[in-house]
Structure 1
Amino acid sequence: MSAVVPQPSGGSSPRKVAIASLIGTTIEWYDFFIYSTAAVLVFNQLFFPGFDPTTGTLLAFSTFAAGFVARPVGAIVFGHFGDRAGRKPMMVLTILIMGIATVAIGLLPTYDVIGVFAPVLLVILRLCQGFALGGEWGGAVLMATEHSPQGRRAFFGSWPQAGVAVGLILAMTLYIPLESMSPDAFMAWGWRVPFMLSAVLVITGLVIRVKVAESPEFDRVKANHSVVRMPVIEVLRTHPKQVFLVAGASLVPGIFFYLITVYNFVYAGKSEEFDSTSMLVLVIITSAVGFFVNPAAGAMADKYGAQRVYLWGLVLIVVVAFPLYFALDGGSYGLIPVCYFAATIAVYIPWALSPAYFSTAFDAKVRYSGLSLATTLGNLLGSAIAPLIAGALFAATKASVSTSIYVFVAGAVSITCALALGRVIRNKALRAGKGSDGNVQEFAAPTYSE
């Protein structure tokens, strides 16, 4: 029997909720990105000084990957309570955990002070960051999509994703003046400043998120007494195919994103013409473009269909990967920016549509668990190890084309899974009587029947 979804209460219009999700996600990803930037610029020297530069960099990337290992755990824990207690409380708790862990990293003694305990504590705090982020994303995007009006699910769901670009811009912008410091001052205390500033941002984010009303679709699940006792077990029992297809479909956007925002600084370090500061500026500028790509892609998906536009982005990623690494190999000031703009547009198209496209695969009563678990699984298999795999491939082959082929293979997997996911969503909608022409856009903002 169909039930009417309650309207947002407490003055939380879809626009206000989208803005709150955007600001909160910006803060979460700011914390996450300052770590990834420090992993490239600082951690290999301060926390792994006993190794040669290449090995130290790989170990720093390993601590970066540790955050992704904790994401599925965060997805399970926060997904469980998000489906039982509500989306809003989890949004508040995850931003608090992320903020405390980030500030603690900024206060952490280095290897020269406490020896081996320094990298151990670094990994623990990184795990805390990943744990929080594993639950934060699902809550933020569901608040935006579940508050959205009919036919605008992709547009409103894209705004939390735009926070990724803003967080990245804030994080990397802070490192530009810090890099102009003397090397000794930067290594002594300069790198800690972005981590400490997180405290101010977290307080701001907490105030904003506390004022947002609970998701109307979750309120409806409670009103219908449909709350599931063990959401993770239920989603694996009833939606196992969706979990793995969403993980696969999200594979290459995550891989390519972390290659262009984290790993490619390795190329800048090897180039005499295009240094790390130039790469920072380029990533900041292209991320600003990525911010506007998000709502534009969302609007296109609401008009043409989420699956169709999502696939356009995947194909563009695969195509752009080859000229991008050719340009980075040559260190060309002219070709690198052009390829980076194209790569940014490519990666943000599917990134923007993930909330609307993937959330339709799961019923409301297990959506937080299903969406969080599936995407964090994709991140674990893709984003977490992307810098490590790319670095190992380049070390083994001495050719950047190996990285392009890596993206190509991952892209083939994602395209296959996205096509299969579309069929699953269409069949689910047709069985519920919500569509007949196979257009994903038609049931991008469905009403659910229990």
Structure 2
Amino acid sequence: MPSAQPSERPEHQHQPTTPNPALLRKVAISGLLGTVIEYYDFLVYGTLAALAFGQLFFPKTNPTVGTIAAFGTLAAGYVARPLGGAIFGHFGDRIGRKSMLILTMVLMGGASILIGLLPTYASIGVAAPALLVLLRVVQGIAIGGEWGGATLMVVEHADAERRGFWSGVMQMGAPLGGLLSTVSVTTVASLPGDQFLTWGWRVPFLCSAVLLGIGLYVRISITESPLFQQAAEARKKQDAGSAPNIPLVQVLRRPRTLILGCAIGIGPFALTSIIATFMLTYATAIGYSRSDVMTGLMGTSLIGLVAIPFFSALSDRVGRRRVVLGGAVGTILLAFPFFALIDSKSPTLLVVAMVLAQGLLQSSMYAPLAPLLSELFGTRVRYTGASLGYQLAALIGGGFTPMFASSLLAASGGIRSTPLSILVMACGLVTAVAIWRTAETRGRDLSGNGNENDHAPLPVASPAA
């Protein structure tokens, strides 16, 4: 594939089908609800890991080690996400998107409800943290398959000119899920200490049952992706009498596409982990109250509700690369000023810093990921390829960042933000280099039309200098 300038549009930019507006809205709402549940469950867990899990499930350790151990269970869920992407991606590419989406939603919501019912260390001893890790892994596997399926249902129903816009509607679930998690945790965290640790922390997890019921009601009524149906019919004719293609093998056969897709997502996931999970630990250690941090988290979610659809739609006009690269460069340049604002110990500046980092910079890198990763892969491997790229980025950028940050603070012998600023800069640099090495995908034909792109990831060319 020839090199593409950031401003160029690929020649093959029109899909053969015209989307049904009413159906597309329903599919987008279904994806939105799934993303709400995904982010609600993961952010509730991350926040409560910082506030309570060290005491509830790892009480025999000192506070620092207990926090790292609690974040370790957070990482366990992220480790399971690529596994879920591979499992559900395989069956989603072979059987269909819709059935996998229903299954992942049930597993994801069910695991969260069971965490809310889980006995603590005081009741059942070491079985408590063991079960917590197990449920976290189940949750991670389910979420590993959720994003890819929800994204593809939206992208494969939409027309080429507005994939970013409709993906933005779906990805509004990220800040909306964050807002709901912040509200629920803030409410229970205001309880007296003994009530919060006795039963209050369970309430946000149990509330997942409501989201699960609404999500399933909408999701069951949507139709299968038209592009998958076309590919399935073509595969029946082409695969007759031959060994079936394994999507994961096809994706790994050209690993450069997967590696670049993963690297692009590291920056936004790292920022999310720093702001939504680690910030409670860091900010309260230097003198902020819980309510100060929760106010900042609420502000980032509200800004994200506008910023994510804006940047997603913007990527339809100026290209995915420009939008992501702008956010990555901004992250690199503002990493030290960001922590300088936090270290000022001003609640107002704390909120400004969090909104700037999460609400704007993270949103600009995250918003184009759904159409971008979908456009990198052919229809027959798209669920597997897009899911693995996204979930590996979540694992590397999001799963381990809180542990790295906690370990850096412990190694520095005190609360020093310089190592944290360098960590944020490094993650932003990874995203910047990766998106610079990726050709523009905006407007790419996703139908495959029976060519080699049905069987393997689309080639990625280095942009011209």
TM-score by length of 2: 0.89
Matches within 5 A, 1:428-443: 440-441=441-442, 443=443
Verify: 1:184 aligned to 2:194, yes or no.
yes
1:66 to 71, 76, 88: 76
TM-aligned CA distance change 1:321 to 1:4, over 3 Å? closer
2:245 to 229, 234, 246: 229
Match of 1:310 in 2: 324
Match of 2:215 in 1: 205
Match of 1:416 in 2: 433
User: Runs in 1 of length 4+ with deviation above 3 angstroms?
Assistant: 2-9, 226-229, 444-447
Matches within 5 A, 1:129-168: 129-168=139-178
Cα deviation per residue 1:87-139 (whole Å; 9 max; x = unaligned)?
A: 11111110100111111111111001100000000000000110001110100
Match of 1:426 in 2: none
Distance between the aligned counterparts of 2:355 and 2:202, measured in 1?
30
Cα deviation per residue 1:193-239 (whole Å; 9 max; x = unaligned)?
A: 111111121111111111111111111111222686311111111x3
Where 2:58 maps in the other structure, the secondary structure is coil
1:112 to 122, 138, 149: 122
Distance between the aligned counterparts of 1:57 and 1:150, measured in 2?
45
Letter in 2 for 1:200: V
Letter in 2 for 1:308: R
Given that residues 102 and 196 in structure 1 are in contact (C-alpha distance below 8 angstroms), is that contact kept between their aligned partners in structure 2? yes
Verify: 1:298 aligned to 2:312, yes or no.
yes
Distance between the aligned counterparts of 1:415 and 1:448, measured in 2?
29
2:183 to 160, 173, 197: 173
Letter in 1 for 2:391: T
Letter in 2 for 1:23: L
Match of 1:404 in 2: 421
Match of 2:386 in 1: 371
Given that residues 85 and 388 in structure 2 are in contact (C-alpha distance below 8 angstroms), is that contact kept between their aligned partners in structure 1? yes
Match of 1:336 in 2: 350
Match of 2:272 in 1: 257
How many angstroms does 1:152 deviate by? 0.6
Where 2:347 maps in the other structure, the secondary structure is coil
Letter in 2 for 1:236: L
Where 1:250 maps in the other structure, the secondary structure is helix
Kindly report the root-mean-square deviation, in angstroms, between the aligned alpha carbons of the 2 structures: 1.8
How many angstroms does 1:83 deviate by? 0.3
How many angstroms does 1:281 deviate by? 1.6
Given that residues 374 and 386 in structure 2 are in contact (C-alpha distance below 8 angstroms), is that contact kept between their aligned partners in structure 1? yes
Distance between the aligned counterparts of 1:175 and 1:135, measured in 2?
26
Letter in 2 for 1:302: D
Letter in 1 for 2:251: V
Cα deviation per residue 1:367-408 (whole Å; 9 max; x = unaligned)?
A: 000011122122222211000111111222242011111111
Q: Which moved more, 1:332-341 or 1:182-191?
A: 332-341
Matches within 5 A, 1:77-116: 77-116=87-126
How many angstroms does 1:445 deviate by? 5.2
Distance between the aligned counterparts of 2:39 and 2:441, measured in 1?
29
Given that residues 311 and 368 in structure 2 are in contact (C-alpha distance below 8 angstroms), is that contact kept between their aligned partners in structure 1? yes
Match of 2:23 in 1: 13
Match of 2:456 in 1: none
Letter in 1 for 2:392: L
TM-score by length of 1: 0.91
Distance between the aligned counterparts of 2:60 and 2:107, measured in 1?
31
Given that residues 12 and 212 in structure 1 are in contact (C-alpha distance below 8 angstroms), is that contact kept between their aligned partners in structure 2? no
Distance between the aligned counterparts of 1:139 and 1:202, measured in 2?
16
Distance between the aligned counterparts of 1:149 and 1:4, measured in 2?
7
Match of 1:392 in 2: 407
How many angstroms does 1:4 deviate by? 6.6
Verify: 1:285 aligned to 2:295, yes or no.
no
Letter in 1 for 2:372: Y
Given that residues 166 and 287 in structure 1 are in contact (C-alpha distance below 8 angstroms), is that contact kept between their aligned partners in structure 2? yes
TM-aligned CA distance change 1:279 to 1:445, over 3 Å? farther
Letter in 1 for 2:141: F
Given that residues 153 and 445 in structure 1 are in contact (C-alpha distance below 8 angstroms), is that contact kept between their aligned partners in structure 2? no
TM-aligned CA distance change 1:124 to 1:98, over 3 Å? same
Letter in 2 for 1:122: L
Letter in 2 for 1:372: S
Where 1:142 maps in the other structure, the secondary structure is helix
Where 2:160 maps in the other structure, the secondary structure is coil
Verify: 1:270 aligned to 2:285, yes or no.
yes
Cα deviation per residue 1:128-170 (whole Å; 9 max; x = unaligned)?
A: 1100011101001111111112311111112222101111111
Where 1:212 maps in the other structure, the secondary structure is coil
Distance between the aligned counterparts of 1:20 and 1:445, measured in 2?
24
Given that residues 15 and 159 in structure 2 are in contact (C-alpha distance below 8 angstroms), is that contact kept between their aligned partners in structure 1? no
Given that residues 273 and 401 in structure 2 are in contact (C-alpha distance below 8 angstroms), is that contact kept between their aligned partners in structure 1? yes
**How many residues are paired up?**
429
How many angstroms does 1:8 deviate by? 5.3
Distance between the aligned counterparts of 1:298 and 1:4, measured in 2?
19
Distance between the aligned counterparts of 2:15 and 2:432, measured in 1?
35
How many angstroms does 1:319 deviate by? 2.2
Distance between the aligned counterparts of 1:317 and 1:70, measured in 2?
28
Given that residues 28 and 98 in structure 1 are in contact (C-alpha distance below 8 angstroms), is that contact kept between their aligned partners in structure 2? yes
Where 1:213 maps in the other structure, the secondary structure is coil
Given that residues 227 and 447 in structure 2 are in contact (C-alpha distance below 8 angstroms), is that contact kept between their aligned partners in structure 1? no
Match of 2:9 in 1: none
Given that residues 299 and 351 in structure 2 are in contact (C-alpha distance below 8 angstroms), is that contact kept between their aligned partners in structure 1? no
Distance between the aligned counterparts of 1:18 and 1:444, measured in 2?
20
Where 2:45 maps in the other structure, the secondary structure is helix
Given that residues 98 and 224 in structure 2 are in contact (C-alpha distance below 8 angstroms), is that contact kept between their aligned partners in structure 1? yes
Match of 1:33 in 2: 43
Where 1:224 maps in the other structure, the secondary structure is helix
Given that residues 6 and 220 in structure 1 are in contact (C-alpha distance below 8 angstroms), is that contact kept between their aligned partners in structure 2? no
Where 1:151 maps in the other structure, the secondary structure is helix
Given that residues 247 and 381 in structure 2 are in contact (C-alpha distance below 8 angstroms), is that contact kept between their aligned partners in structure 1? yes
Given that residues 68 and 379 in structure 1 are in contact (C-alpha distance below 8 angstroms), is that contact kept between their aligned partners in structure 2? yes
Match of 2:5 in 1: none
How much identity, in percent, do the aligned residues show? 39
Where 2:77 maps in the other structure, the secondary structure is helix
How many angstroms does 1:447 deviate by? 4.2
